Amino acid sequence: MSDAIRFTLNGEETLYNGNPADRLLDVLRETYKLTGVKCGCKEGECGACSVLMDGELINSCMVALGRCEGSNIVTIEGFSKTEHFQVIDKAYAAVSAVQCGYCIPGMVLATEALLVKTPHPTEEEIRTGLSGNLCRCTGYNAIVKAVQIAAKEGDGLW
């Protein structure tokens, strides 16, 4: 049992007894049933599988469980309980930035990661901050606008 990997998952102390080489994305979805974490490529290219690891945005398809030892992992399911989420949610809703929704959990966490670093980003900073997350539906304008609204409405939160 001392072999288990210990990490915090959405605020809960978690022990993972499987293979340390297992892909974080697969473990989140299959073992912990956190299906808000999406898979768009499994090659680190699309961002659909984005989660926060110690506050940094990472592609969970590119991380082995072994690397998660001692870390704090937050998925969309955990993030949805936060005040930050509420603000971002409202902002995306106001401009109808969600189309097929498949990129969205990743986008939301990318938005959070960006606003934590840069609470009042310029448009260019937003576009750079979201550039690791592909969206085929929206053309990105509505998402960029949503981030701007979130930054404004959530002034002081980040």
Q: Contact positions toward ligand FES, by CB under 6 A?
A: 39-42, 44-49, 59, 61, 98-104, 135-138
- Which partner from the list another protein, ligand FES, none does 61 bind, CB cut-off 5 to 8 Å by kind? ligand FES
Q: Does 71 bind another protein (CB under 8 A)?
A: no
CB-based burial of residue 131 (10 Å sphere; 0-12 exposed, 13-18 middle, 19+ buried)?
exposed
Helix, strand or coil, per DSSP, at residue 114: helix
- Which partner from the list another protein, ligand FES, none does 157 bind, CB cut-off 5 to 8 Å by kind? none
- Which partner from the list another protein, ligand FES, none does 19 bind, CB cut-off 5 to 8 Å by kind? none
- Which partner from the list ligand FES, another protein, none does 59 bind, CB cut-off 5 to 8 Å by kind? ligand FES
| Smallest gap from residue 13 Cβ to ligand FES (A) | 26
Q: Check residue 148 and give left, alpha or beta (phi > 0: left; psi -120 to 50: alpha).
A: alpha
Cα gap 36→55, rounded to integer Å: 18
Cα gap 124→20, rounded to integer Å: 38
Cα gap 102→128, rounded to integer Å: 20
Among 64, 95, 116, 157, binds another protein (CB under 8 A): 95
Please say which residue, 70 or 141, places its beta carbon nearer to another protein: 141
**Tokens (6 digits) for 5:** 């990997």
Cα gap 12→78, rounded to integer Å: 10
Q: Does 143 bind another protein (CB under 8 A)?
A: yes
Please say which residue, 37 or 58, places its beta carbon nearer to another protein: 37
